[in-house]
Copies of this chain bind each other. A is one copy, B any other.
């Protein structure tokens, strides 16, 4: 097949590979619209509810006098730690935030555009445990952490190295961010995330980015993300606001994420949780703009539900999935990049439940127009565990979603009316010229799915998808080669980390 005949997708992949930027696309630009489920009238009702929550109940900003000072200066009503906002005030502040921004990777070919029609897949984030089929569940270590970076980097289906993929619990809490950022830089050449567990650790993460990219470049460009959680309902604690201000101050992007478990940290109704999420996220995003006007920021959210029998949190359920569509519409009305949903499940194993829940919630992210999809892969047991096998299964789903987001190409060549004249009624299309011209690029090809005849599958051992995933992650780790890194930069980073570590006793909080 001549290169001229390759589809745009394939051509772009080839182009990318030539640039030495690794495999696949640096990010996806969606060729299908978002799925908008709510009418203008109902969207206005949600926005009005959020405005009332902000104006009447307000949000507490605890342990951060500077944040209160910023709010006071912006005209909010500050009473102790409680801040109330006149309707429209936050929207006005948010006008300075960029609709789309670039997060740079150390390999420029892997830099991502966040916002607009762009979609970036990033691994799951924050599990204390890891799991695999051989060893079961155990606390995550730095080795696990590094393994997951390598598995992400070696897959063409991700665009981002992520952040705290699992907690490296064998490293002191006050030092692990240094090892995590080092691992992202050394083992991946994609964009990554920094620490958010304290202002100092955020500053360390940003400082390491400055060593990698240069101080001036970092002041002018986004090179690191920090994922910051609201303490829902309606509380921002000082650790988080200091961290989000640190990222904004450095012109780096905070991801502002209320985690709302409906019925616990917010109303049990979907509409109420969405209104609350909008209120909390707007406040956090606006604070970044007060800290530094024009700093990039991502409108984040994490809707969840609960089991009515046990009160346990549930993930990958239908209400948060359809609620995500509304969140997407709200974010676009604010002209902010969106983080929403991901590959969620409460299952303890990479089984049928895991992928039923995961696929439903991941497709919600795709349909709602999420630009930065954290938790794209590995999420198990309500985010308590990072699963090696589920990571590979989810990576496969991420691959499928590339083709899904490409939509249906409609042109004379793809409609292929001439092919029918060539083939005629009752004959097959196997060898016709239209098939030959499109064969290589027509369909997504799974790394893991079994499509063989039953007898062939049986002869190969009757294995399930999780078992195949188990084999694949081991092969990928065995074959891994880290992307080249300038030795001077590597040394500079290591010097920084060593100096920081020497200056601190281990602390486990």
Contact = CB atoms under 8 A, between A and B. Distances in A.
26 contacts: A49-B417, A53-B417, A56-B420, A57-B421, A60-B425, A262-B442, A262-B443, A270-B408, A270-B409, A272-B416, A274-B408, A308-B443, A317-B443, A318-B401, A346-B451, A347-B465, A348-B454, A349-B462, A352-B352, A352-B393, A355-B359, A356-B397, A360-B400, A363-B363, A367-B367, A381-B454
A407 B444 contact: no
A269 B323 contact: no
Given A45-B410, A272-B419, A443-B317, A353 B234 contact: no
Interface of A: 32-33, 35-38, 42, 45-46, 49, 52-53, 56-60, 82, 137, 231, 233-235, 262-272, 274-276, 305-314, 317-319, 321-323, 325-326, 346-360, 363, 367, 381-382, 384-385, 390, 393, 396-397, 400-401, 403-404, 407-411, 413-417, 419-421, 423-430, 434-435, 438-440, 442-446, 448-454, 457-458, 462, 464-466, 469
Contacts of A385: 454
Nearest to A305: B443
A420 to B, nearest CB: 4
A11 to B, nearest CB: 16
B355 A442 contact: no
A38 B408 CA distance: 8
Contacts of A438: 267-269
Contacts of A349: 462, 464-465
B60 A466 contact: no
Given A417-B56, A438-B269, A428 B264 contact: yes
Contacts of A42: 410
Contacts of A414: 269-272
A318 B450 contact: no
Contacts of A305: 442-444
A347 B449 contact: yes
A152 to B, nearest CB: 19
A446 to B, nearest CB: 8
B410 A38 contact: yes
A317 B454 contact: no
B312 A451 contact: yes
Contacts of A409: 269-271
A355 B353 CA distance: 7
Given A32-B322, A351-B465, A443-B317, A434 B231 contact: no
A414 to B, nearest CB: 4
A42 B306 CA distance: 42
A87 to B, nearest CB: 13
Contacts of A444: 305, 317-319
Contacts of A276: 420
Nearest to A409: B271
A308 B60 contact: no
Given A37-B408, A272-B414, A318-B403, 18 more contacts: A59-B425, A231-B426, A263-B429, A263-B439, A268-B429, A269-B414, A270-B408, A272-B417, A305-B443, A310-B452, A312-B452, A314-B443, A314-B451, A322-B403, A353-B464, A354-B355, A356-B356, A356-B396
Contact of A46 (B306, B360, B404, B415): B415
A307 B448 CA distance: 12
B410 A319 contact: no
A92 B359 CA distance: 41
A429 B263 CA distance: 5
B262 A450 contact: no
A271 B451 contact: no
A425 B233 contact: yes
Given A355-B352, A443-B317, A408 B49 contact: no
- The 4 A-B residue pairs with the shortest CB-CB distance, nearest first, are A234-B425, A272-B416, A353-B465, A359-B359
B267 A419 contact: yes
Contacts of A348: 450, 454, 457-458, 462
